[in-house]
Structure 1
Amino acid sequence: MIEVQPNPEQRRAFAAHAVLQKPKWRTVSPTSFAVPADLFTALPEELLIGAVVDGHRYVSPDEDAALGNQPFARLLDCGKCYEEVGGEVHPHPECPLGTTAGLELVGVATEAGFREAVPGEPVPEVPAEAYDADSVPLTAADTSEAAPSGAPEGVFPCGSCDRDFTTERGRDTHERMKHPEA
Protein backbone atom coordinates (compact mmCIF):
# COMPACT_ATOMS: atom_id res chain seq x y z
CA MET A 1 0.00 0.00 0.00
CA ILE A 2 1.11 3.51 -0.79
CA GLU A 3 0.09 6.23 1.64
CA VAL A 4 -1.18 9.34 -0.14
CA GLN A 5 -2.03 12.57 1.68
CA PRO A 6 -3.76 14.69 -0.95
CA ASN A 7 -3.54 18.46 -1.15
CA PRO A 8 -6.28 19.95 1.12
CA GLU A 9 -7.98 21.48 -1.95
CA GLN A 10 -8.04 18.06 -3.65
CA ARG A 11 -9.05 15.99 -0.60
CA ARG A 12 -12.79 15.80 -1.47
CA ALA A 13 -12.08 14.93 -5.09
CA PHE A 14 -9.58 12.29 -3.98
CA ALA A 15 -12.12 10.81 -1.52
CA ALA A 16 -14.78 10.73 -4.24
CA HIS A 17 -12.36 8.87 -6.51
CA ALA A 18 -11.37 6.49 -3.68
CA VAL A 19 -14.94 5.37 -2.90
CA LEU A 20 -15.61 4.63 -6.58
CA GLN A 21 -12.86 1.99 -6.63
CA LYS A 22 -13.66 -1.70 -6.23
CA PRO A 23 -12.75 -2.44 -3.47
CA LYS A 24 -12.92 1.01 -1.89
CA TRP A 25 -9.62 2.52 -0.83
CA ARG A 26 -9.23 2.85 2.91
CA THR A 27 -8.17 5.85 4.94
CA VAL A 28 -5.15 5.52 7.21
CA SER A 29 -5.62 8.86 8.96
CA PRO A 30 -8.08 11.75 8.76
CA THR A 31 -6.07 13.18 5.85
CA SER A 32 -4.40 10.14 4.23
CA PHE A 33 -5.48 7.24 2.02
CA ALA A 34 -3.97 3.79 1.46
CA VAL A 35 -3.72 3.27 -2.29
CA PRO A 36 -2.88 -0.21 -3.65
CA ALA A 37 0.49 -0.08 -5.39
CA ASP A 38 -0.81 -1.57 -8.63
CA LEU A 39 -3.56 1.07 -8.86
CA PHE A 40 -1.35 4.05 -7.97
CA THR A 41 -0.11 4.42 -11.54
CA ALA A 42 -3.71 4.71 -12.80
CA LEU A 43 -4.50 7.55 -10.38
CA PRO A 44 -5.39 10.80 -12.19
CA GLU A 45 -2.49 13.26 -12.23
CA GLU A 46 -4.59 16.23 -11.07
CA LEU A 47 -5.40 14.41 -7.80
CA LEU A 48 -1.71 13.91 -7.02
CA ILE A 49 -0.46 17.46 -7.64
CA GLY A 50 0.50 18.95 -4.27
CA ALA A 51 0.07 15.59 -2.48
CA VAL A 52 2.50 13.88 -0.13
CA VAL A 53 3.17 10.29 -1.24
CA ASP A 54 4.83 8.00 1.33
CA GLY A 55 6.28 11.02 3.12
CA HIS A 56 7.63 12.75 -0.01
CA ARG A 57 6.09 15.60 -1.95
CA TYR A 58 4.75 14.40 -5.29
CA VAL A 59 6.47 16.07 -8.25
CA SER A 60 4.56 15.73 -11.50
CA PRO A 61 6.44 15.17 -14.77
CA ASP A 62 5.21 18.58 -16.00
CA GLU A 63 6.57 20.32 -12.88
CA ASP A 64 9.83 18.39 -13.20
CA ALA A 65 10.24 19.53 -16.82
CA ALA A 66 9.35 23.13 -15.89
CA LEU A 67 12.16 23.10 -13.31
CA GLY A 68 14.57 22.07 -16.05
CA ASN A 69 15.51 18.71 -14.57
CA GLN A 70 17.04 16.35 -17.10
CA PRO A 71 15.62 12.89 -17.61
CA PHE A 72 17.43 10.03 -15.86
CA ALA A 73 19.49 8.87 -18.81
CA ARG A 74 20.38 11.58 -21.29
CA LEU A 75 22.76 11.22 -24.19
CA LEU A 76 26.06 12.94 -23.39
CA ASP A 77 28.10 15.21 -25.64
CA CYS A 78 30.17 12.32 -26.97
CA GLY A 79 27.00 10.90 -28.55
CA LYS A 80 27.72 7.34 -27.44
CA CYS A 81 27.34 7.26 -23.65
CA TYR A 82 24.65 7.99 -21.08
CA GLU A 83 24.58 9.74 -17.73
CA GLU A 84 24.11 7.49 -14.70
CA VAL A 85 22.79 8.72 -11.35
CA GLY A 86 23.90 12.31 -11.80
CA GLY A 87 27.47 11.55 -12.86
CA GLU A 88 28.92 11.22 -16.33
CA VAL A 89 30.33 7.83 -17.18
CA HIS A 90 31.70 6.89 -20.56
CA PRO A 91 31.58 3.09 -20.81
CA HIS A 92 31.33 2.87 -24.60
CA PRO A 93 34.62 1.52 -26.07
CA GLU A 94 34.57 4.04 -28.95
CA CYS A 95 33.93 7.04 -26.66
CA PRO A 96 36.64 9.71 -27.11
CA LEU A 97 35.96 11.09 -23.60
CA GLY A 98 36.21 7.72 -21.88
CA THR A 99 39.79 6.92 -22.80
CA THR A 100 42.30 6.93 -19.98
CA ALA A 101 45.43 7.06 -22.13
CA GLY A 102 47.87 9.71 -20.94
CA LEU A 103 46.07 10.29 -17.63
CA GLU A 104 47.97 10.04 -14.37
CA LEU A 105 46.44 8.35 -11.35
CA VAL A 106 46.48 10.82 -8.48
CA GLY A 107 45.94 9.50 -4.96
CA VAL A 108 45.56 5.94 -6.23
CA ALA A 109 47.94 3.04 -5.64
CA THR A 110 50.21 2.30 -8.57
CA GLU A 111 51.88 -0.98 -9.53
CA ALA A 112 55.21 0.28 -8.16
CA GLY A 113 53.63 0.89 -4.76
CA PHE A 114 52.28 -2.63 -4.30
CA ARG A 115 54.24 -4.94 -2.02
CA GLU A 116 53.79 -8.58 -1.22
CA ALA A 117 52.32 -9.04 2.26
CA VAL A 118 54.43 -11.11 4.64
CA PRO A 119 52.63 -12.67 7.64
CA GLY A 120 53.95 -11.33 10.92
CA GLU A 121 55.60 -8.29 9.33
CA PRO A 122 54.27 -4.95 10.63
CA VAL A 123 52.23 -2.76 8.32
CA PRO A 124 54.21 0.22 6.97
CA GLU A 125 53.50 3.63 8.48
CA VAL A 126 51.00 5.89 6.75
CA PRO A 127 52.41 9.30 5.78
CA ALA A 128 51.24 12.19 7.94
CA GLU A 129 49.72 14.05 4.95
CA ALA A 130 47.20 11.21 4.55
CA TYR A 131 45.42 12.33 7.74
CA ASP A 132 43.11 15.32 8.19
CA ALA A 133 44.28 18.21 10.36
CA ASP A 134 41.76 17.34 13.10
CA SER A 135 42.47 13.57 13.22
CA VAL A 136 43.54 12.01 16.52
CA PRO A 137 46.01 9.09 16.63
CA LEU A 138 44.79 5.86 18.21
CA THR A 139 46.64 4.40 21.17
CA ALA A 140 48.05 0.88 20.95
CA ALA A 141 45.90 -1.79 22.61
CA ASP A 142 47.17 -3.23 25.90
CA THR A 143 47.83 -6.92 25.27
CA SER A 144 49.36 -7.75 28.66
CA GLU A 145 46.17 -9.50 29.86
CA ALA A 146 45.49 -11.41 26.65
CA ALA A 147 46.24 -14.86 28.14
CA PRO A 148 47.02 -15.98 31.70
CA SER A 149 50.68 -16.70 32.32
CA GLY A 150 51.74 -20.24 31.44
CA ALA A 151 48.72 -20.90 29.18
CA PRO A 152 49.10 -21.04 25.41
CA GLU A 153 47.31 -18.39 23.34
CA GLY A 154 43.63 -19.22 22.75
CA VAL A 155 43.35 -21.49 25.82
CA PHE A 156 41.43 -20.32 28.89
CA PRO A 157 41.91 -22.63 31.93
CA CYS A 158 39.37 -22.83 34.72
CA GLY A 159 40.79 -21.52 38.01
CA SER A 160 38.89 -24.07 40.14
CA CYS A 161 39.47 -27.31 38.16
CA ASP A 162 41.81 -28.65 35.47
CA ARG A 163 39.50 -27.98 32.52
CA ASP A 164 40.57 -25.75 29.56
CA PHE A 165 38.25 -23.73 27.31
CA THR A 166 38.69 -22.26 23.83
CA THR A 167 36.89 -19.01 24.70
CA GLU A 168 36.89 -16.74 27.69
CA ARG A 169 33.11 -16.67 27.58
CA GLY A 170 32.95 -20.48 27.78
CA ARG A 171 35.27 -20.51 30.79
CA ASP A 172 33.26 -17.81 32.57
CA THR A 173 29.99 -19.65 31.93
CA HIS A 174 31.53 -22.88 33.26
CA GLU A 175 32.76 -21.13 36.41
CA ARG A 176 29.32 -19.63 37.09
CA MET A 177 27.54 -22.97 36.57
CA LYS A 178 29.98 -25.46 38.13
CA HIS A 179 31.84 -23.37 40.70
CA PRO A 180 29.33 -20.84 42.10
CA GLU A 181 31.15 -20.81 45.46
CA ALA A 182 34.38 -19.48 43.93
Structure 2
Amino acid sequence: MGVSGTVARKNSSARLWFVVHGWLALPIWAFLFIVCLTGSIATVSQEIVWLADPAVRANAPAADARLLGYDEILAAVEREVPGARVRFIARPVKSIFALTVSVTRPDGSTGTLYVNPYTGAVQGEQGEFDFRDFVRALHGWLLVPFNDGFSLGWYLVSALSIPLLGSLITGIVVYKRF
Protein backbone atom coordinates (compact mmCIF):
# COMPACT_ATOMS: atom_id res chain seq x y z
CA MET A 1 0.00 0.00 0.00
CA GLY A 2 1.64 3.16 -1.13
CA VAL A 3 0.73 6.76 -1.37
CA SER A 4 -2.45 6.03 -3.32
CA GLY A 5 -3.78 3.80 -0.47
CA THR A 6 -3.22 6.58 2.07
CA VAL A 7 -4.89 9.11 -0.22
CA ALA A 8 -7.85 6.76 -0.78
CA ARG A 9 -8.26 6.27 2.98
CA LYS A 10 -7.97 10.02 3.56
CA ASN A 11 -10.59 10.71 0.86
CA SER A 12 -13.00 8.13 2.29
CA SER A 13 -12.50 9.57 5.78
CA ALA A 14 -13.18 13.11 4.49
CA ARG A 15 -16.22 11.82 2.61
CA LEU A 16 -17.54 10.18 5.79
CA TRP A 17 -17.12 13.44 7.72
CA PHE A 18 -18.87 15.27 4.88
CA VAL A 19 -21.83 12.85 4.99
CA VAL A 20 -22.07 13.15 8.79
CA HIS A 21 -21.90 16.94 8.48
CA GLY A 22 -24.73 16.93 5.93
CA TRP A 23 -26.96 14.58 7.90
CA LEU A 24 -26.51 16.57 11.11
CA ALA A 25 -27.65 19.73 9.37
CA LEU A 26 -30.41 18.39 7.13
CA PRO A 27 -33.12 17.40 9.64
CA ILE A 28 -32.86 20.56 11.70
CA TRP A 29 -32.45 23.30 9.11
CA ALA A 30 -36.04 24.58 9.35
CA PHE A 31 -35.99 24.52 13.15
CA LEU A 32 -32.62 26.27 13.17
CA PHE A 33 -33.89 28.82 10.64
CA ILE A 34 -36.86 29.70 12.88
CA VAL A 35 -34.67 30.03 15.97
CA CYS A 36 -32.10 32.16 14.12
CA LEU A 37 -34.73 34.32 12.43
CA THR A 38 -36.63 35.00 15.67
CA GLY A 39 -33.32 35.68 17.44
CA SER A 40 -32.39 38.22 14.79
CA ILE A 41 -35.79 39.89 15.05
CA ALA A 42 -35.60 39.81 18.87
CA THR A 43 -32.39 41.84 18.80
CA VAL A 44 -34.20 44.71 17.08
CA SER A 45 -37.67 44.12 18.56
CA GLN A 46 -37.46 47.20 20.76
CA GLU A 47 -36.74 49.35 17.71
CA ILE A 48 -39.61 47.70 15.79
CA VAL A 49 -41.98 48.52 18.65
CA TRP A 50 -40.59 52.07 18.64
CA LEU A 51 -41.45 52.39 14.93
CA ALA A 52 -44.93 50.90 15.31
CA ASP A 53 -46.11 52.51 18.56
CA PRO A 54 -45.78 56.28 19.05
CA ALA A 55 -46.28 55.86 22.82
CA VAL A 56 -42.83 54.24 23.04
CA ARG A 57 -41.09 57.27 21.56
CA ALA A 58 -39.52 59.84 23.85
CA ASN A 59 -39.51 63.18 22.11
CA ALA A 60 -37.55 65.93 23.80
CA PRO A 61 -39.54 69.19 23.95
CA ALA A 62 -36.37 71.19 23.18
CA ALA A 63 -32.87 70.43 21.95
CA ASP A 64 -31.37 71.20 25.36
CA ALA A 65 -34.00 69.35 27.42
CA ARG A 66 -32.67 67.31 30.33
CA LEU A 67 -33.79 63.86 31.46
CA LEU A 68 -35.88 63.84 34.62
CA GLY A 69 -34.56 62.17 37.77
CA TYR A 70 -36.28 59.22 39.42
CA ASP A 71 -37.98 61.35 42.08
CA GLU A 72 -39.40 63.59 39.36
CA ILE A 73 -40.64 60.54 37.44
CA LEU A 74 -42.31 59.17 40.60
CA ALA A 75 -44.05 62.53 41.16
CA ALA A 76 -45.19 62.68 37.51
CA VAL A 77 -46.61 59.15 37.65
CA GLU A 78 -48.44 60.00 40.88
CA ARG A 79 -49.96 63.06 39.16
CA GLU A 80 -50.99 61.08 36.06
CA VAL A 81 -52.16 57.89 37.83
CA PRO A 82 -53.24 58.92 41.34
CA GLY A 83 -52.75 56.27 44.01
CA ALA A 84 -50.60 54.03 41.84
CA ARG A 85 -47.62 52.39 43.50
CA VAL A 86 -44.51 52.23 41.30
CA ARG A 87 -42.93 48.78 41.34
CA PHE A 88 -39.94 49.61 39.13
CA ILE A 89 -38.70 52.04 36.53
CA ALA A 90 -36.69 50.82 33.55
CA ARG A 91 -34.62 53.40 31.72
CA PRO A 92 -33.68 52.21 28.21
CA VAL A 93 -30.14 52.65 26.95
CA LYS A 94 -31.18 55.13 24.25
CA SER A 95 -32.87 58.38 25.18
CA ILE A 96 -35.26 58.10 22.21
CA PHE A 97 -37.26 55.46 24.12
CA ALA A 98 -39.84 56.21 26.79
CA LEU A 99 -39.29 54.87 30.28
CA THR A 100 -41.23 51.74 31.20
CA VAL A 101 -42.77 52.14 34.61
CA SER A 102 -44.47 49.16 36.23
CA VAL A 103 -47.29 50.21 38.55
CA THR A 104 -49.85 48.65 40.84
CA ARG A 105 -53.10 50.60 40.86
CA PRO A 106 -55.28 51.07 43.97
CA ASP A 107 -57.71 48.41 42.68
CA GLY A 108 -54.85 45.85 42.64
CA SER A 109 -54.41 45.70 38.87
CA THR A 110 -50.94 46.07 37.43
CA GLY A 111 -49.70 47.72 34.28
CA THR A 112 -46.63 48.99 32.53
CA LEU A 113 -46.73 52.63 31.49
CA TYR A 114 -44.67 54.42 28.87
CA VAL A 115 -43.46 57.65 30.47
CA ASN A 116 -41.66 60.43 28.60
CA PRO A 117 -38.28 60.87 30.38
CA TYR A 118 -38.21 64.60 29.54
CA THR A 119 -41.72 65.69 30.52
CA GLY A 120 -42.98 62.92 32.81
CA ALA A 121 -46.15 62.53 30.73
CA VAL A 122 -47.67 59.05 30.57
CA GLN A 123 -47.81 58.40 26.82
CA GLY A 124 -49.49 55.01 26.86
CA GLU A 125 -49.62 51.58 28.40
CA GLN A 126 -47.93 48.37 27.34
CA GLY A 127 -50.15 45.38 26.72
CA GLU A 128 -49.79 42.16 28.66
CA PHE A 129 -47.97 40.42 25.83
CA ASP A 130 -46.54 42.79 23.22
CA PHE A 131 -44.56 42.13 20.04
CA ARG A 132 -41.22 42.19 21.86
CA ASP A 133 -42.38 39.59 24.38
CA PHE A 134 -43.86 37.46 21.58
CA VAL A 135 -40.66 37.35 19.52
CA ARG A 136 -38.47 36.67 22.56
CA ALA A 137 -40.81 33.90 23.74
CA LEU A 138 -40.90 32.35 20.28
CA HIS A 139 -37.10 32.47 20.10
CA GLY A 140 -36.46 31.27 23.63
CA TRP A 141 -39.02 28.53 24.15
CA LEU A 142 -41.15 28.35 20.97
CA LEU A 143 -44.20 29.70 22.84
CA VAL A 144 -44.59 26.34 24.57
CA PRO A 145 -46.08 27.22 27.97
CA PHE A 146 -44.26 26.57 31.21
CA ASN A 147 -45.91 23.87 33.33
CA ASP A 148 -44.48 23.51 36.84
CA GLY A 149 -41.38 25.47 35.79
CA PHE A 150 -40.79 23.18 32.80
CA SER A 151 -41.12 24.11 29.13
CA LEU A 152 -40.48 21.52 26.47
CA GLY A 153 -39.79 24.33 23.99
CA TRP A 154 -36.94 25.72 26.11
CA TYR A 155 -35.30 22.29 26.18
CA LEU A 156 -35.81 21.86 22.41
CA VAL A 157 -34.14 25.20 21.68
CA SER A 158 -31.33 24.35 24.12
CA ALA A 159 -30.88 20.86 22.65
CA LEU A 160 -30.33 22.49 19.26
CA SER A 161 -26.83 23.34 20.50
CA ILE A 162 -25.77 19.66 20.33
CA PRO A 163 -26.27 19.16 16.57
CA LEU A 164 -24.94 22.67 15.99
CA LEU A 165 -21.73 21.75 17.83
CA GLY A 166 -21.51 18.51 15.84
CA SER A 167 -22.07 20.42 12.61
CA LEU A 168 -19.37 22.91 13.58
CA ILE A 169 -16.83 20.17 14.33
CA THR A 170 -17.57 18.16 11.18
CA GLY A 171 -17.59 21.35 9.11
CA ILE A 172 -14.13 22.25 10.41
CA VAL A 173 -12.88 18.75 9.60
CA VAL A 174 -14.40 18.74 6.09
CA TYR A 175 -13.51 22.32 5.13
CA LYS A 176 -10.01 22.60 6.62
CA ARG A 177 -8.79 25.01 3.98
CA PHE A 178 -11.71 27.44 4.42
TM-score by length of 2: 0.24
- Which structure features the higher share of helix residues? 2
Higher-RCO chain (CA-CA 8 Å, sequence separation at least 6)? 2
TM-score by length of 1: 0.24
